[in-house]
Amino acid sequence: MQNAQIRNAAESVKIGLQRARSEAVTRNANVEFILAPDTSWEIQLAADGTIIDSRLSSEGSSHISAVVLPIGAIDAMDDNKATVTFNNFGGIAGNINLLLPIDQVNFTSSQATNAELSNLTIVLGVGGNARMCDPTATSGQRQC
């Protein structure tokens, strides 16, 4: 059950990142993807904060937490949320709040009691593309 929640959280964040990137290109405007530590996320226009889409962690991944890298991407003044801003070309732009953009998100279970839980990672490329991988994989497509 916990593995399914980890996968749900990782898939949701990956889809959210892809949607934010796509919206930035479609709208020809900077669009922000904002991630909370509980894996809830929001997509909004950078210019005025208009919300485009959002997801609550209670939608299939309530016991999963997201650890964002680099640490400089976390806004301690805003409930430890992290942001990445996509520009109109789908690339990563500078954040309005001047924090570093998200590079990587690691997903773990707060109810982890089994060493066989599969932790997943989302890696965000320089061009804005998001890729899900397994940090424990030693070879293959799922390797980080």
Are 59 and 39 within 8 A, CB to CB? no
Q: How far apart are CA 101 and CA 74, in angstroms?
A: 9
Residue 115 has pLDDT above 60, yes or no: no
Please report whether residue 142 resides in a domain: no
State how many domains the chain has. Answer: 1
Q: How far apart are CA 131 and CA 34, in angstroms?
A: 17
Band (116; pLDDT cuts 50, 70, 90): low
More confident residue, 48 or 140: 48
Are 23 and 49 within 8 A, CB to CB? no
pLDDT tens digits along 40-63: 999 999 999 999 999 998 887 778
Return the sign of the alpha-carbon dihedral for residues 102, 104, 110, 111: positive
Predicted local distance difference test score (pLDDT) of residue 124: 93
CATH number of the domain at 44, please.
Answer: 3.55.40.10
Please report whether residue 77 resides in a domain: yes
Mean pLDDT, range 104-115, rounded to an integer: 74
Predicted local distance difference test score (pLDDT) of residue 20: 98
Range of the domain at 95: 2-133
pLDDT tens digits along 72-95: 888 888 899 999 999 999 999 988
- Amino acid at residue number 115: A
Please report whether residue 144 resides in a domain: no
Question: Structure tokens of 74?
Answer: 């976390």
Question: Structure tokens of 64?
Answer: 């999963």
Band (31; pLDDT cuts 50, 70, 90): very high
Q: How far apart are CA 40 and CA 37, in angstroms?
A: 7
**% of the chain at pLDDT higher than 70:** 92
pTM: 0.87
pLDDT tens digits along 11-25: 999 999 999 999 999
Please report whether residue 118 resides in a domain: yes
The residue with tokens 């990782």 is: 10
Give backbone dihedrals phi and psi of 10, rounded to 5 degrees, phi first: -65, -45
Please give the span between the terminal C-alpha atoms of the chain, in angstroms, as a whole number. Answer: 24
